Structure 1
Amino acid sequence: MDIIIALLPFISVFICLFVLKQTSLLSGILSYIATLLIISIYPKYHIVLGEILHASFKGFLISFIAAYVLFFGMLFFHLINNIGGIQTIAAFISNATKDHLLQVILLVIGLSPLLESTSGFGIAFMITAPILIALGFPPIKAASIGLVSLLAVPWGALSTGTVIGAQIGGIDLKEMGVGTAIISIPIFIYFLIIAIYLAAGREAIRRKWKETLLVSIAFSLTMILFNVFVSVELSGVLSSLVSSGICLLIIKMKSSYQLKSANKTINETSISKTTDKSVSIIKVMSPYLFLTISIFATRLVPVFKDFLESNFVIDLPAFSFSLALFYSPGFWLFITCLYTIFVFKISKNVIWTSLKTTVKQWVPFVISTTTFVAISQLMTASNMTFVIANAAGLTFGTLYIYVSPFIGGIGGYLTGSSTGSNAMFTQLQVQTATRTGLPLNLVASVQNASSAHATMACPSRVALGATLCRIESEENRLLKNISLIVLGAILLIILTTTILLFVEGYA
């Protein structure tokens, strides 16, 4: 009975989302209220008002880490979008190559990870899918490829989900970032192959296997290297820039023959036009480069790093909470927004429109994430998490490592957010790992990777995709296909985890 009661907060989330078909915002609020009722009524999990307030406020503080970054990430995106920056990027891709498969590769492992790493919130999908339609792909294919392109979610909004997971689980951020990157290597390759298959079938995989393997391995290896030697927060941005550069180099090499055989006059005209477009693209990309260089400096210049970590810090020891405001990526996204406004001379009307849109999207995220984190904290304070972890440990033992990816995947599937999933399940996963003797950093990384990669199959996100691409009648088919793709990713995570268990440092 104690186990069933302890599981009720998770069950209530599931019922609200799938039975009552409520939004993540309302589901979070209702489930938080249900959790309060349980700890107020059921004697075994009863805690006093002071502990309830303490756990709830700690939930707010932890979610603020993500909210701080996400607000300016979303504002940055809307500023760029409202001045036509995204359309410029789309035109550049269209003019760079007429090869649809190379366009897909560039979008899936170049542009989409870049947008997701800086903005988060699945915004990359909302841009990639319309671009694919504009490039001539049928809407169902565009929606499917757009969802699959969300392969960099663990590093979305400068890794806010990973940061939250590390904070809640008490895991070193670098360890969690590197662990997630290693686990994700086969996932990156898998998703890019799936994208190529969705675009043009099995024959397309055979024709583009060299390019697919080269770019996905480059993306994977640079992701690990940047997590180790630069910073977790910046890894997604840097890896997507590297993979984009490799894609563009491949495109240039493949088009060199046609350029050489072209008429000299036509060639000169083309170069002139390309130069104009290059200037435009460089200007559009300059805020991304400015953001990258800024955060790069804060992580690798010791004097700068030490100053930012020691000053303007919110420190609340009673809640085990500390946030260096100027060291956080959120501050540098804010500075990047100012840079963008200045460089593009954005009008007050556009700024105001961008702010309103950002607030409209941001507020529900903050409330829902806060409720999910608060539920997790209340469950820990009331001993529910311990009871579930103990039962899972007794039931599965070390075999729990094969259950862990499904728990993370369910979290991502339910909430559509790696931040929300990590808020709900990281504490449970880490406590269960402690009970079973499994490596904490590996289990936390599995939770982070599985929850992030499962977000693309979230029903609400799929519904958004169907609406965005005007294929509402195909929503069930789209959900089924993406869910099967995500299941394949979860199975790959299990396989990779099994291998890692035998690698020194994880065993």
Structure 2
Amino acid sequence: MNAFLAASPVLSSILALGFGMRSLHAAMLGVVAAIVAAIMAFPLPATEIGYASLKWLPLVAEVVLIVGGGLLMSEVLRHAGAQAALANWIKGRAGTGVAAVLLVVHGITPFAESVTGFGIGVTIGIPLLVFMGLPARQAALIGLLGLCAVPWGSMGPGTMIAASLAGIGFDELGIASALLSIIPFAITGGVAAWLISAPGERGRALALAGVSALVFATVVGLSNLAFGTAPAGALGSVAIICLHLLWSSRRAHGSEPLLPIGRRALQAYGLLLGGVLVMGAVMRFGHLPEQWRYLASPALWLFVAALWFCAGRPPAEPWSRAWKAWLQVAPVTALFIFMGIVMAVTGTAAYLARLLAEIGSGYLAMSPFVGALGGFVTGSSSGSNAMFAATQAEISRSLGADLLLFMATHNVAAAISILASPGKIEMAIQLAGGDAAFQRRWIQRMAIAVVMAVVSLLAVVNVLA
């Protein structure tokens, strides 16, 4: 009976999503199941409940504020035409071919995803690919492949949740995830290069994809070391963008200049990154108390950058759109986090972990697939980590595995799987237009194949470590 109760929060959420229930309702069902399990089999004293609430409330608040800031920034840029201005300028400079496609997969889409999140990178990358002349189904799939750096999406709330629930450092998990991310970076870049290159040129195309992946992973890793996890994805993708634009500068002499609204958008992105980086450095070198870390949080600087862009007065339409989107996304994220917290503090996760740990070392190969399942069904690394991170961490401890590496494989697997989630597939098809809707099955199969390849290699790493 206890085994059923311990597993019921996760199983009920997954089954609810599988049967087509809204994410909010699935998350609520998981929370109710977690509370029922705690009352019936894993009771906790009232004093412990109060202590846990105070301990975890700042994390929940920070994550939902990051969600809100990312959505607001995306909407004010879109409404002002800044995203379109940037896209047109990049299109004029990037040209076509393998290098241009890799610019989207390892540069533009990850950058947009890193500073805003929630699939916004796809809304910028796919129109660029269509403009380059790619068939609709290729544009949709390759646009999805740009969701390869989701551990740093929206400045990393998903990774923050995993680190907090597992009891390890945010930056430590970011660095370990960066080392493992050479796998998704190489596979997504390789698939994109293979798809758009002629048969006789695929060797060179794959070599270029490998170099791009290596540079991307290296800069992301070094950025984690130097500046922390939050800005690392954005800095890594900026490096790819700059390298490509420098390489293609000879072809860009006739391109149109960037419009003023586009320049202001770049300044807003610079303010966002600069604020996080500078305040992060102040925290590190000034040895300020932990409570001051929120001055370096994206939860603050996303709002600062968005409000600066619109001179402190967001127009009614983007404000309304961001609010409506936040009401859909934030409660789901918060509820999944709450479910994970209840499972962690009541001992439900530890009990479930002990049961799963009886599988023995064989679970090392299963673990990344568990993380990927969560990312697929929730369409969010934050959702997957909130559902599974506490349990995965307990299993790692029970098996005596390296906790940091174990959680890094889980984190990267949960992140890469969202590119195959039904919601992201639908978004990509709508953006690509043309005959993409008739190629839905091909796009879905290819996306799942990419995810399975990445997760399988992560499982191998887990087993061999």
TM-score in terms of structure 2 length: 0.91
Task: Indicate how the Cα distance of structure 1 residues 60 and 133 shifts in structure 2: closer, same or farther if over 3 A, else same.
Answer: farther
**Counterpart for residue 436 of structure 1:** 399
Alignment partner for residue 400 of structure 1, among 328, 338, 363? 363
Distance 1:300 1:108 in 2: 30
**Counterpart for residue 140 of structure 2:** 143
**Counterpart for residue 153 of structure 2:** 156
Task: Indicate how the Cα distance of structure 1 residues 414 and 52 shifts in structure 2: closer, same or farther if over 3 A, else same.
Answer: farther
Distance 1:460 1:494 in 2: 26
Alignment partner for residue 233 of structure 2, among 232, 236, 249? 236
**Counterpart for residue 458 of structure 2:** 493
> Does residue 32 in structure 1 map to residue 31 in structure 2?
yes
Deviation string, structure 1 residues 170-192 (Cα, Å, up to 9, x no partner): 10122101100011112211111
Task: Indicate how the Cα distance of structure 1 residues 204 and 157 shifts in structure 2: closer, same or farther if over 3 A, else same.
Answer: farther
52-61 or 279-288, larger mean C-alpha shift: 52-61
Q: Is the 8 A contact 1:76 1:336 kept in 2?
A: yes
469-478 or 93-102, larger mean C-alpha shift: 469-478
Shift of 1:8: 1.6
Give the AA of the match of 1:439. Answer: D
Distance 2:64 2:319 in 1: 15
Q: Is the 8 A contact 1:64 1:366 kept in 2?
A: no
Shift of 1:117: 0.6
Alignment partner for residue 341 of structure 2, among 362, 377, 388? 377
SS in 1 for 2:128: helix
What is the aligned-residue identity percentage? Answer: 24
Instruction: Please give the residue correspondences for 1:323-402 in structure 2 after superposition, counting only pairs within 5 Å.
Output: 324-342=293-311, 351-396=315-360, 398-402=361-365
Shift of 1:105: 1.2
Q: Is the 8 A contact 2:279 2:295 kept in 1?
A: no
SS in 1 for 2:460: helix
SS in 2 for 1:208: helix
SS in 2 for 1:301: helix
**Counterpart for residue 69 of structure 1:** 66
Task: Indicate how the Cα distance of structure 1 residues 422 and 378 shifts in structure 2: closer, same or farther if over 3 A, else same.
Answer: same
Q: Is the 8 A contact 2:166 2:393 kept in 1?
A: yes
Distance 1:358 1:186 in 2: 34
Give the AA of the match of 1:25. Answer: L
**Counterpart for residue 292 of structure 1:** 273
Shift of 1:302: 5.4
Q: Is the 8 A contact 2:85 2:259 kept in 1?
A: no
Q: Is the 8 A contact 1:409 1:454 kept in 2?
A: yes
Number of residue pairs the alignment of both structures matches: 463
Deviation string, structure 1 residues 449-483 (Cα, Å, up to 9, x no partner): 11011111112222332334344443333222211
SS in 1 for 2:180: helix
Distance 2:87 2:382 in 1: 29
**Counterpart for residue 80 of structure 1:** 77
**Counterpart for residue 126 of structure 2:** 129
> Does residue 211 in structure 1 map to residue 203 in structure 2?
no
Shift of 1:57: 7.4
Alignment partner for residue 222 of structure 1, among 219, 224, 235? 219
Shift of 1:325: 3.3
Shift of 1:7: 1.3
Distance 1:97 1:442 in 2: 37
Task: Indicate how the Cα distance of structure 1 residues 201 and 428 shifts in structure 2: closer, same or farther if over 3 A, else same.
Answer: farther
Task: Indicate how the Cα distance of structure 1 residues 52 and 198 shifts in structure 2: closer, same or farther if over 3 A, else same.
Answer: farther
TM-score in terms of structure 1 length: 0.84
Shift of 1:124: 0.7
Task: Indicate how the Cα distance of structure 1 residues 388 and 482 shifts in structure 2: closer, same or farther if over 3 A, else same.
Answer: same
Q: Is the 8 A contact 2:343 2:390 kept in 1?
A: no
Shift of 1:413: 0.9
**Counterpart for residue 196 of structure 2:** 199
Task: Indicate how the Cα distance of structure 1 residues 391 and 244 shifts in structure 2: closer, same or farther if over 3 A, else same.
Answer: same
**Counterpart for residue 427 of structure 1:** 390
Q: Is the 8 A contact 2:67 2:330 kept in 1?
A: no
56-65 or 133-142, larger mean C-alpha shift: 56-65
Distance 1:304 1:77 in 2: 32
Distance 2:393 2:284 in 1: 35
**Counterpart for residue 319 of structure 1:** none
Q: Is the 8 A contact 1:52 1:378 kept in 2?
A: no
Unaligned runs of 5+ in 1: 260-266, 314-322, 502-507
Root-mean-square deviation (Å): 2.6
Deviation string, structure 1 residues 417-457 (Cα, Å, up to 9, x no partner): 11111111111111111111111111121111110111111
Q: Is the 8 A contact 1:60 1:373 kept in 2?
A: no
Deviation string, structure 1 residues 306-326 (Cα, Å, up to 9, x no partner): 45x56xx4xxxxxxxxx7432
378-387 or 162-171, larger mean C-alpha shift: 378-387
Shift of 1:73: 1.7
**Counterpart for residue 409 of structure 2:** 446
> Does residue 482 in structure 1 map to residue 447 in structure 2?
yes
